[in-house]
Amino acid sequence: MEIYRTPMIVAGKPRGYAKGTRAVGAKGFVWLSGVVGFDPDTGEIPEGIREQTKLTMENIKSRLEEYGTSLKNIVHLRQYFKGEFPNGVFNDPKYPESAAVIEEFWKENCPEFLKENNPPAITILGVAALARPQILLEIDVVAAVE
């Protein structure tokens, strides 16, 4: 299987996501339900966006492995941030904090997403509510299966 990601370049600068992703020769795909930052052992949801983002990414990794694929085969992420966004999600303090945690997670677990700006396609949405009041971030994922 080969996965092709097309970097997103704006004003000559690479962005942290791809314009799109194409998987050739995949044996199938996995669609994860929205993943949130809860501790799978206790069911507890921590307070801050950093802690929730870290647990969300760890839960994504575990679920992908459970379905016979891995982080490197992610073709699309959809991130839902809870809040009010009169100036857009990018200008909300939660977004850069979460983005920094995800970048660190990629460095540790899937560095090819950083090399030459090769991350998967991403959609970022601001929403008024998620499943529980304390949830600040939810991510759903599509990954190819080799």
Instruction: Specify the pLDDT at position 23.
Output: 92
Instruction: Specify the pLDDT at position 61.
Output: 98
Domain limits for position 14: 2-145
Contacts of residues 86-89 at CB distance under 8 Å and 24 or more positions apart, as own/partner, are: 88/126, 89/124, 89/125, 89/126
Beta bridge partners, 3, equal: 23
Q: What is the mean pLDDT of each run of 10 residues along the chain (146 residues)?
A: 88 85 94 96 95 98 97 97 95 96 96 83 96 97 96
H/E stretch holding 131 reads none
Supply φ then ψ for residue 55, to 5 degrees. Answer: -65, -35
Provide the number of structural domains found in the chain: 1
- CATH number of the domain enclosing 131: 3.30.1330.40
Q: Which two tokens stand for residue 77?
A: 């992420």
Cα first-last separation, the chain? 6
- Output the pTM of the full model: 0.93
